Amino acid sequence: MLKTALFQHPDFVHHETGADHPERLERTRAIIDDLENSPLQAKLQWHLAEPADIAWVEANHDVDYIRRIEEACLSGADQLDRGETRVSHESYHVALLAAGAAIGAVDAVMTGECDNAFCALRPPGHHAERAKAMGFCLFNNVAIAARYALAKHGLERVFILDWDVHHGNGTQHSFYDNERVFFCSMHQYPFYPGTGEADERGIGAGRGTTLNFPLPPGTKGMACRNLLSGPIADAVADFRPDMILVSAGFDAHHLDPMAHLELTEEDFGEMTRTACALAAEHCSGRLVSVLEGGYHLQALAASVREHLKAMVGDA
Ligand SMILES: [Zn+2]
């Protein structure tokens, strides 16, 4: 059996943001083109994403917000809430497809069809709040996947590891008071979106199940690897998750134009190896990774390749 699934869809390019926008349609195309020309192609289970059932999107977002996005897209609006979130006519449907990719990946892992899965999706999700689009994100794919894993598959606890260079404010807020979902982020700070200080640890029953590692500009990959194999590994061991979800942004790459960390594609490979080892130790290897940022096309494709090589188990 091939242990790693790849969820993708050719329609992800139909979320059009304009040629001058960093979150552009060439991103998923660059990833897929690279994989199709790599020996990895034959080592992956290729899955076509299906649109999310709206009920699962409503589990994480206000119904009025979902309707507002649908109406804006279908009426020809080209941006939402803040100007940074561009949309086109098909964006609502593509956003449902992105959330559906994450849901499909959870299903594939939970039914044993694969051990782990990566979703080459767009638009990204981790900045999307319950009722607000932010930072190129419409629906919070990883948060929807976490809620789905808990409700549909009866999992007790899910650990979300977010290594996008930006703090995943939307995901943190989704689960800030929720003891069943651990949110752990490493990110450049101070930086967009402004949240993610080390003292943000959750509230109420969720106190202690949020963990942030703000990093200064110029931070190199070894510092991130050491966080993952040190305090983050300890947090996973203490939490004993049933599944690990990764908000896999690759914009901490040193070539990325949006941020100022200094990771290489090899660092992402090594961090993935550690995440997979943690999943193997604590939750039967169950790991689902969803694409977030990453805006330098070659660096993005190379980083995803190293990410998937580690998930497949290639050295
Ligand atoms: Zn980002």
Summary count for the chain: helices (H), strands (E):
10, 10
Say yes or no to pLDDT of 151 above 70: yes
- 276 pLDDT band (50/70/90 cuts)? very high
Global confidence as pTM: 0.98
Overall average pLDDT of the 254-283 stretch: 98
pLDDT at residue 40, as a whole number: 96
- 19 pLDDT band (50/70/90 cuts)? confident
pLDDT at residue 270, as a whole number: 98
Distance from Cα 312 to the centre of ligand 1, integer Å: 25
CATH of the domain at 57: 3.40.800.20
pLDDT at residue 83, as a whole number: 73
| Helix, coil or strand: residue 37 | coil
Say yes or no to pLDDT of 77 above 70: yes
Distance from Cα 258 to the centre of ligand 1, integer Å: 8
Q: CA 146, 147, 151: angle at the middle one, nearest 5?
A: 120
pLDDT at residue 315, as a whole number: 62
**Please, what is the average pLDDT of the chain?**
97
Distance from Cα 128 to the centre of ligand 1, integer Å: 12
Q: How many domains does the chain have?
A: 1
List CB-based neighbours of ion ligand 1 within 5 Å. 164, 166, 249, 251, 293
How many CB atoms neighbour CB 71 within 10 A? 11
pLDDT at residue 1, as a whole number: 74
Dihedral sign for Cα 256, 259, 262, 263, please: negative
Catalytic residue among 9, 61, 127, 282: 127
For residue 112, the enclosing domain spans 4-312
pLDDT at residue 44, as a whole number: 98
Strands (E), the chain: 4-8, 44-48, 79-80, 85-86, 116-119, 158-162, 181-188, 210-215, 243-248, 287-291
Q: What are phi and psi for residue 143, nearest 5 degrees?
A: -70, -40
- 84 pLDDT band (50/70/90 cuts)? confident
Distance from Cα 292 to the centre of ligand 1, integer Å: 6
pLDDT at residue 12, as a whole number: 98
Say yes or no to pLDDT of 114 above 80: yes
61 is catalytic: no
pLDDT at residue 210, as a whole number: 98
